[in-house]
Chains A and B, each alone.
Chain A
């Protein structure tokens, strides 16, 4: 059974930093690209970042480029996002999601339960 478990959310002041983690199990982690998708309170879904299975390809939304860094440790089956220079508009539930690449259509087939990041003074 695929499981994705996020951690690391919390309250942080504007300009601060936070690192989120996502522990994965139930699939061959290194074979799949992984993503972070966020949802501001009462709003829709917004893609944040994706990393390839090997970790050598990373992609970011313009809204976080230069401030967030996605990474993965394939020996620990864990995905990370380092979030720096946080702003109020980064307040959201952050989901990690597994991308299904084998079909060639690239949906996110499994999602974690999410972790809430609140940026406020």
Chain B
């Protein structure tokens, strides 16, 4: 199975900050990397696919990059509604696997 490792596990940031979350795969997954946002008590929300393609309706302050084993999710200017947990997920091979999540908290 491909292991996905996110860092950091949590971070504190202020509204307006630039935030970067890293996701590393245990082997190359090309660009088969997706990102999701989850707020407490809610279902995950799909943000980005193919490492860098924004899902329709997702604000442009979200961006993704990377290929192979190293990927990043960047929020260019953190907004109050962005405080949540973010998960990366590889869809390169079965079983699809998730990172452990990164919780973005208010500083």
Contact = CB atoms under 8 A, between A and B. Distances in A.
Contacts of B98: 44-47
A37 B43 CA distance: 10
Nearest to A46: B98
Nearest to A35: B96
Given A105-B34, A107-B49, 5 more contacts: A59-B95, A62-B95, A105-B91, A106-B91, A111-B45
B100 interface: yes
A107 B43 contact: no
Contacts of B45: 111
A27 interface: no
A114 B91 contact: no
Interface residues of A, number: 22
Nearest to A37: B44
A1 interface: no
B22 interface: no
Q: Which 7 A-B pairs have the closest CB atoms?
A: A106-B91, A107-B34, A111-B43, A107-B49, A105-B50, A45-B98, A105-B49
Contact of B44 (A59, A62, A95, A100): A95
Interface residues of B, number: 25
Interface string B65-107: 0000000000000000000000101010011111111000000
B44 A107 contact: no
A74 B38 CA distance: 29
Contacts of A47: 95-98
A112 B45 CA distance: 10
Contacts of A62: 95
Interface in A68-111: 95, 100, 103, 105-111
A108 B42 CA distance: 15
B27 interface: no
Interface string A15-47: 000000000000000000000010000001111
Given A46-B98, A47-B98, A103 B43 contact: no
B62 interface: no
Interface string B25-56: 00000011010101000111110011001010
